[in-house]
């Protein structure tokens, strides 16, 4: 026996006005995610299970993606990146919020309509070994989505399309007769890309598609995705933890921390001028190829570990680890608001931190300790 898994009325923020990545009303975005929330129940008990809390995996996340654009989503492991992608794709039903794709709210569609919408949005998973059925040939794997969505009337048309897709992702048509275990990790991700393109989508969620691959192979897959985007105009939500990879492929980047977006900006702007303290700490850990610059750089070491999403800190979730935290940070949650150049940041003191040169104080703020 299990108690209700639905969050209480005050567990998730109510859906409000639509907002895009620049803080304005959404107009013509391919994908518009509005105040997305995903909580998982924490239960206890062997026979009678009861809910004792919630894992706040994604908590009030909003962003938009235009046609042909790539939005990178970065953050530490466990920050909610993959759950966000799964919730957008409806693989994990959101607790609340809206996912508006091509003008329709996916959360309000019936199963048949949602299935039709999924033809236009696909996913490339992180594990190139577990995401392909080992009992199916490559040709069958790529052909299956076309059969499910009733594309191409005859089997010959579908097989011709399979050969076209294999050549498009850099494989040979004769690979269609082989099985996944006969390919390397990079080749398997090419097969996964071909499968995702089989139904001619306009949007693809790339969930850390290169993290399980060797560095040399990562570059090949990233270049493949960029080439496919230039040729087909597909949009990406690119989820990763490697900041260099994200910069190479993304137009804009959203930084997540403990279920919330703390900064969203253009790719070059984020790297050249990070505003949020967490973004500064992440970028300070990225090595620089020039040894002279690397020796002069000062890394920002964050104390402690990432707090549990079951019991996140009050107000600003980053304040227990932030070198610049003050008493206000523990009392008032900063909102993700538009600042210079239309970028967004969720920090009370981002301007003061920037004016000080971004050099963290030697010791944590006494004001925060007193608070």
Helix (H) or strand (E) holding 61: strand 50-65
Q: What is the pLDDT of residue 128?
A: 86
Paired residues of 367 in beta bridges: none
CATH class entry, domain 31-120+201-370 = alpha beta
Q: Return d(Cα 299, Cα 306) in angstroms, integer.
A: 18
Residues 6+ apart with CB under 8 A from 175: 138, 166, 183
Q: Return d(Cα 85, Cα 35) in angstroms, integer.
A: 14
Q: Return d(Cα 317, Cα 359) in angstroms, integer.
A: 21
Is 345 strand, coil or helix? strand
Q: What is the pLDDT of residue 20?
A: 39
Q: Return d(Cα 110, Cα 93) in angstroms, integer.
A: 13
> By CB neighbour count within 10 A (0-12 exposed, 13-18 middle, 19+ buried), where does 177 fall?
exposed
DSSP code at position 49 = B
> By CB neighbour count within 10 A (0-12 exposed, 13-18 middle, 19+ buried), where does 188 fall?
buried
Q: Return d(Cα 260, Cα 279) in angstroms, integer.
A: 13
Is 161 strand, coil or helix? helix
Phi/psi at 312 (nearest 5 deg)? -70, 155
Q: What is the pLDDT of residue 239?
A: 96
DSSP code at position 212 = T
How remote is the C-alpha of 83 from its chain's centroid?
Answer: 8
Show the low-confidence residues of the chain (pLDDT under 50). Answer: 1-5, 9-26, 364-371
Q: Return d(Cα 194, Cα 85) in angstroms, integer.
A: 20
Length of the chain: 371
Q: What is the pLDDT of residue 35?
A: 96
Residues 6+ apart with CB under 8 A from 331: 314, 315, 371
Q: What is the pLDDT of residue 18?
A: 39
Is 63 strand, coil or helix? strand
Q: 338 is written with which tokens?
A: 């538009």
Angle between helix axes 155-168 and 185-197 (nearest 10 degrees) is 130
**Do 239 and 63 form a contact (C-beta atoms < 8 A)?**
no
From residue 84, alpha-carbon distances to 7, 63, 131, 134, 177 in Å are 18, 11, 19, 28, 35
Q: 255 is written with which tokens?
A: 């930084």
**The pTM is what?**
0.87
**Do 323 and 317 form a contact (C-beta atoms < 8 A)?**
no
**Do 340 and 369 form a contact (C-beta atoms < 8 A)?**
no
Helix (H) or strand (E) holding 237: strand 235-239
Q: 207 is written with which tokens?
A: 């969930």
Q: What is the pLDDT of residue 22?
A: 37
């Amino acid at each position: 026996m299990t108690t209700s898994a639905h969050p209480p009325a005050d567990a998730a923020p109510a859906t409000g006005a639509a907002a895009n990545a620049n803080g304005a009303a959404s107009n013509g975005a391919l994908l518009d995610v509005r105040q997305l929330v995903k909580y998982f129940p924490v239960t206890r008990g062997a026979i009678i299970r009861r809910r004792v809390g919630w894992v706040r995996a994604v908590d009030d996340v909003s962003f938009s993606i235009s046609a042909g654009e790539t939005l990178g989503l970065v953050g530490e492991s466990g920050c909610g990146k993959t759950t966000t992608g799964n919730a957008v794709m409806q693989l994990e039903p959101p607790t609340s919020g809206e996912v508006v794709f091509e003008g329709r709210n996916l959360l309000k569609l019936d199963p048949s309509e949602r299935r039709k919408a999924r033809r236009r949005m696909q996913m490339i998973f992180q594990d190139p070994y577990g995401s392909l059925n080992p009992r199916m040939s490559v040709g069958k794997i790529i052909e299956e989505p076309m059969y499910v969505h009733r594309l191409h009337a005859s089997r010959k048309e579908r097989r011709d399309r399979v050969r076209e897709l294999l050549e498009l992702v850099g494989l040979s048509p004769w690979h269609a007769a082989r099985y996944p275990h006969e390919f390397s990790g990079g080749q398997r991700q090419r097969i996964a890309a071909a499968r995702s393109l089989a139904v001619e989508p306009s949007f693809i969620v790339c969930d850390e598609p290169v993290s399980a691959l060797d560095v040399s192979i990562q570059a090949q897959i990233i270049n493949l995705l960029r080439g496919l985007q230039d040729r087909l105009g597909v949009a990406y939500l690119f989820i990763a933890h490697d900041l260099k990879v994200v910069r190479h492929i993304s137009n804009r980047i959203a930084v997540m921390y403990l279920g919330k977006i703390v900064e969203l900006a253009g790719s070059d702007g984020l790297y050249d001028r990070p505003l949020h303290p967490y973004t500064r700490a992440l970028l300070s850990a990225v090595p620089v190829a020039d040894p002279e610059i690397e020796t002069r750089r000062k890394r920002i070491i964050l104390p402690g570990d990432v707090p549990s999403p079951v019991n996140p800190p009050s107000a600003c979730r980053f304040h227990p680890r932030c070198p610049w935290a003050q008493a206000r940070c523990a009392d008032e949650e900063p909102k993700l608001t538009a600042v210079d150049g239309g970028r967004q940041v969720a920090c009370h003191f981002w301007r003061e931190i920037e004016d000080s040169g971004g050099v963290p104080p030697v010791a944590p703020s006494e004001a925060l300790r007193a608070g």
